[in-house]
Amino acid sequence: MIIESNYVSTLTFAAVNSEASFASTQKKGAQGIIDEITASKLRGCGGAGFPTGLKLTLMAKEKTHPKYVICNADEGEPGTFKDREILTNYAELVFTGMAIAAMAIGGAEKGILYLRAEYAFMKEHLVAVIAKCKVFTGFNIEIRSGAGAYVCGEETALIESLEGKRGEPRNRPPFPIQSGYLGQPSEVNNVETFAWITTIMSKGAAWFNAVGTVQSAGYKIFSISGDCKRPGVYEFSMGTTIAAMLNAVGGEGAQAVQMGGASGQTIFADQFSRKIAFEDASPGGSIMVFGPQRNMFDVAENFLEFFDEESCGQCTPCRKGNVQLLVAVRKIKAHLQGKEMCCKNKEQAHGCLERLYSLAETMQIASKCGLGQSSANAFLAITKHFADDIKCGGRK
């Protein structure tokens, strides 16, 4: 496919004045901010979709000080690059959003932006933007980086990394709201979430939730890549169908899309009428388009190689499960190509698949963090979609 352009759609962020937003927000006070954000129905943009207003409410209720506001800019999910765009062009919205959150939760002494190690080139620019944002006196934002582990995008691993430890997820509960950075209440949000906070405080909750579905209000930014003519960063309103999205990016004729990065959902063409919304095709930050020429088992193998590399190695299901699935998908590939017949007949292949499904389910429900809980998703979707092919050894 010939790429026509690397595209960036017009983002709402371009029209927001962060200084003006902050100035007007200051008058509303902590409860005013929480009410506005709650009314907007904004949900976390990092993937999990936790209601932002509720998180602020819970943080405000915590009595312990100091409190920290942490921006998760460890954009490590394969296929995700929207935060890079936001930080490059709209960083002041992000920092302002952090300051607004700090006000809402009853005062945070410090903000930390955890910058993906690979985005180190941006640091100078970000420091300059912070210096320009004079508005929030008494609230300092520091930029910190890890060593580049994917798992540090998981908020508790991120906090461990901030504390100078090996980046490994913590047990939850307690959640970062109760005991986060240095054991103190910590508000951890994605880059985009903070930018939306500033935007909503400027344009109002009613403007935001005027679009979207009942459970997923407003707009969302996507990194779209893969087999489409116009890959890039897009803003869609929630509830947009996958088909409409594909039309917009020039991805018509795709056999599948991967929603929310390697750890997200694999959705095949028969379900392209589904809506991009938390309650349906969960949005995450990225969409990968797979054209009809792609071997989806290559995709599964590629994702599992990634997870096998990036599992922190702490909990058993993730440490040993990903490698099992990786070996399995390679065997399936060889099996489909008729190279290596590990299963002699349909029954054996069926038993083999059932064993792997059972393992995948264990990984999803028994892993310690989101990494292990979601790394089997693509494997499950793809092998189930092509189950008949696998059982017949590719001979239909």
What residues line the site for another protein (CB under 8 A)?
Answer: 149, 166, 171, 173-174, 307-324, 327, 355, 358-359, 361-362, 364-368, 373
**Minimum CB distance to another protein, residue 58 (Å):** 13
- Nearer to another protein by C-beta: 180 or 239? 180
Q: In the bound complex, what is the minimum distance in angstroms from residue 152's beta carbon to another protein? A: 11
Query: What interhelical angle do 377-385 and 346-366 show, nearest 10?
Result: 150
Closest distance to another protein from the beta carbon of 314 (Å): 5
User: Looking at beta carbons only, is 21 or 311 nearer to another protein?
Assistant: 311
294 or 319: whose CB is closer to another protein? 319
- CB atoms under 10 Å from CB of 19, counted, come to 13
Least distance from C-beta 117 to another protein, angstroms? Answer: 14
Between CA 149 and CA 147 the distance in angstroms is 6
Q: Closer to another protein by CB, 21 or 314: give it.
A: 314
- Least distance in Å: CB of 327 to another protein? 8
Strands 286-290 and 265-268: unpaired
Q: Minimal distance in Å, beta carbon 171 to another protein? A: 4
Q: Which residues pair with 73 in a beta bridge?
A: 115
* Cβ proximity to another protein, 301 vs 308, nearer residue: 308
What lies within 8 Å, CB to CB, of 169 at 6+ separation is 151, 154, 156, 157, 160, 312, 314, 368, 369, 371
User: Hunting for tokens 């499904």 — which residue is that?
Assistant: 357
Q: Six-digit token pair at 59?
A: 């943080």
Q: Which is nearer to another protein, 184 or 322 (CB)?
A: 322
- Between 220 and 368, name the residue whose CB sits nearer to another protein: 368
Residue-by-residue DSSP string for 150-213? GGGGSHHHHHHHHTTS---PPPSSSPTTTS-GGGS-EEEEEHHHHHHHHHHHHH-HHHHHTSB-
Q: Are 73 and 83 in contact (CB under 8 A)?
A: yes
Cis peptide before 231 (omega within 30 of 0): no
Q: Are 162 and 70 in contact (CB under 8 A)?
A: yes
Amino acid 196 reads W
Whole-number minimum distance, CB 49 to another protein, in Å? 13
Q: What minimum distance in Å lies between the beta carbon of 376 and another protein? A: 12
Q: Which is nearer to another protein, 191 or 315 (CB)?
A: 315
